[in-house]
């Protein structure tokens, strides 16, 4: 395991800002930016879904419930950061990634049904294009996946995660 660490440190040496001793300071700044992006993304996506009325059917509540949970967890983490809040963020963000993928599938299936009703005989590339650009935006749930990935990047080798596992890691 030590070999991988030294190899990756050598390969990514060009990514340090200024002197390599400042790397931990740089990483701490990047971690703060990721958290800020996550908070803004969660708040913005929540607002957008509420304004769109994304709660007509039970499955449409999934992102709203997850985003609401994220607001609570992120507020907890900002107020009292610790191993439990970092772990909770990590788990919730993994669920975000899965929910985003599920949302893409559900939007796509809904568009297929809609397009089949409008144009039952249509097929091929024209049908695919109309399905992807259909009644519901197929890639919109990807925002949940992106937020999940930002959150996972934020928690990756987080100092509090090291405390929880009993290991000391440098930031």
Instruction: Look at residue 145 and tell me if it is in a domain.
Output: yes
Instruction: Look at residue 13 and tell me if it is in a domain.
Output: no
Would the pLDDT of 94 be above 60? yes
Segment 7-44, tens digit of pLDDT:
455 555 555 556 666 778 889 999 999 999 999 999 99
Would the pLDDT of 170 be above 60? no
What is the structure's pLDDT at 150? 98
Instruction: Look at residue 11 and tell me if it is in a domain.
Output: no
Question: What SS3 string covers the chain?
Answer: CHHHHHHHHHHCHHHCCCCHHHHHHHHHHHHHHHHHHHHHHHHHHHHHHHHHCCCCCHHHHHHHHHHHHHHHHHHHHHHCCCHHHHHHHHHHHHHHHHHHHHHHHHHHHHHHHHHHHHCCCCCHHHHHHHHHCCCCCCCCCHHHHHHHHHHHHHHCCCHHHHHHHCCCCCC
Range of the domain at 141: 19-165
Tell me how many domains the chain contains: 1
What is the structure's pLDDT at 167? 59
What is the structure's pLDDT at 161? 82
What is the structure's pLDDT at 1? 40
Instruction: Look at residue 99 and tell me if it is in a domain.
Output: yes
Instruction: Look at residue 119 and tell me if it is in a domain.
Output: yes
Instruction: Read off the pTM.
Output: 0.81
Using pLDDT thresholds of 50, 70 and 90, give the confidence band for residue 2.
very low
Segment 136-157, tens digit of pLDDT:
899 999 999 999 999 999 999 9
Instruction: Look at residue 140 and tell me if it is in a domain.
Output: yes
For residues 132 and 22, the model is more confident at: 132
Instruction: Look at residue 2 and tell me if it is in a domain.
Output: no
Instruction: Look at residue 9 and tell me if it is in a domain.
Output: no
């Amino acid at each position: 395991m030590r070999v991988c660490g030294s190899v990756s440190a050598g390969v990514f040496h060009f990514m340090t800002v200024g002197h390599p001793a400042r790397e931990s300071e740089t990483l701490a700044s990047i971690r703060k930016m990721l958290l800020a992006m996550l908070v803004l993304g969660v708040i913005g996506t929540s607002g957008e879904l509420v304004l769109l009325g994304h709660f007509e059917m039970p499955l449409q509540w999934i992102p709203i419930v997850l985003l609401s949970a994220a607001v609570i967890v992120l507020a907890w983490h900002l107020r009292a950061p610790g191993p439990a809040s970092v772990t909770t963020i990590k788990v919730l963000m993994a669920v975000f990634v899965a929910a985003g993928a599920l949302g893409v599938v559900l939007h796509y299936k809904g568009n297929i049904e809609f397009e089949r009703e409008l144009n039952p005989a249509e097929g091929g590339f024209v049908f695919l294009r109309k399905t992807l650009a259909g009644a519901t935006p197929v890639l919109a749930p990807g925002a949940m996946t992106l937020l999940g990935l930002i959150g996972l990047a934020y928690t990756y080798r987080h100092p509090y995660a090291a405390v929880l596992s009993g290991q000391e890691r440098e930031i």
